[in-house]
A = this chain, B = another copy of it.
């Protein structure tokens, strides 16, 4: 029995779920393999505007050995494998446009080792960042990378995620020490040893970080950890203009203040989060959310320097929070940004999350030109940015089933990406290419994409690992 569904013409060239593979997977996993339509549909949807594309079956794996066996079985039939963590990817990474088996790693939720003396740990790929941080609390350590969603650490590795704390602690690129990966033929490798640094061969860790499931399945992740700082202080302040807020960020970065978080929200985004959270104690204006970490003396010094810079750019309405519950409340408002936007949209609308990143010196230019474009485009959107990294998002709320709205939103996004690329920036600071940005990648890196294709063909000659993502082969 074949469950092949005609989704697009390319899919017809791929073997879909054959009766033989279905038998093999059932023998391997019992009821942890299913072809139930509701489960397939659940796994075939992204969080964003992409049309859904369900797989032909869903396999739940609990160990690297099981992942290896599943991939081997699929490879034997040439059937696609789509790794799945929490389904919070924003560029359609977990869709199955060519059908195949979604490999759900949510059950791989074991924290395998924490070494406080080495400031590192190893987790299974399905462990989420909040689960890890709750587990770590008593050790005095934490894992800093914070993309907003409570994503799995395997998924965060696969998309090279970053987030609010990257300006201080780096992205997944800097914080993954080693990976266990199941290759396209089912073989299992360890990309590196646990030493802090190494010059032993090609940097396979960094090759798989950001590979979006197209080269293999990440099953275990060794991560750097950090000591919870002695003191932490958060601040919010508002500015007379978006430009003033952006210029404050640029000055903070250029002065070398080791700010731990530096988030920009414009008046549109502030209205969203205040409406959603029923918050009446924020100014609806162009705003920075900031956090300082370190020793008491260092935090005081950072806060003082930052306040002086912000004051020069006309900042006012400073709110400070030092106690954990006050800081959590303050950051909850910021972290609810995405959900506030989802709550504000009408049922027929969806959200496209843009993700450009430019050199910090170009950030004001890029944001101001984009703001002008936004005003002229009459689209429902605004700015939320990891401004310290030069990275900002615009969530464009539109009815993507309406051809005209769809066209306007995509044309706006096209102009935004081109503007960022013209400023030596990138189409994606942290969300990845997925199925949504394949052409932008070509425009951005040209012939380098041929090198990526050569690597892909070398490691996955039959193109079964998350096909249709990142690269057009």
- A19 at interface (Cβ–Cβ under 8 A)? no
Which of A278-286, A295-303, A334-342 is the interface stretch?
Answer: A295-303
B428 touches A200 (CB 8 A): yes
A56 within 8 A of B: no
Which residues A381-438 have CB closer than 8 A to chain B? 389-391, 421, 424-433, 437
Q: Is there an interface contact between B447 and A189, defined as CB atoms closer than 8 Å?
A: yes
Question: Among A74-82, A201-209, A318-326, which stretch is in contact with chain B?
Answer: A201-209
A119 at the interface (CB under 8 A from B): yes
Copies per complex?
Answer: 2
Whether B200 lies near A227 (C-beta < 8 A) is no
The CA of A451 and the CA of B471, in the complex, are separated in Å by 20
Q: By the criterion CB–CB under 8 Å, are B195 and A429 in contact?
A: yes
User: Could you tell me if A426 and B200 are in contact, using CB atoms closer than 8 angstroms?
Assistant: yes
Cβ proximity bits A192-235 to B, threshold 8 Å, 1 near / 0 not = 11111111111110110111000100000000001101000000
Among A20-28, A32-40, A44-52, A354-362, the stretch in contact with B: A354-362
User: A194 to B162, alpha carbons, bound, how many Å?
Assistant: 17
Q: Name the one of B190, B360, B444 contacting A118, with C-beta atoms under 8 angstroms.
A: B360
The answer to whether A449 has its CB under 8 Å from any CB of chain B is yes
Which listed segment binds B: A343-351, A367-375, A452-460?
A452-460
Please determine whether B207 and A358 come into contact, CB atoms closer than 8 angstroms.
no
How many whole Å from A456's CB to the nearest CB in chain B?
Answer: 8
Instruction: Kindly state whether residue A5 has any CB partner on chain B within 8 Å.
Output: no
Stretch touching chain B among A59-67, A124-132, A166-174: A166-174
A196 near B357 with CB under 8 A, answer yes
Chain B residues with CB below 8 A from A3, complex form: none
Which residues in B have their C-beta under 8 angstroms from that of A428? 198-200
CB distance from A120 to the nearest CB of B (A): 7
The 10 closest A-B pairs by CB, nearest first: A206-B206, A458-B458, A117-B361, A227-B256, A194-B424, A198-B426, A189-B448, A195-B357, A454-B458, A160-B199
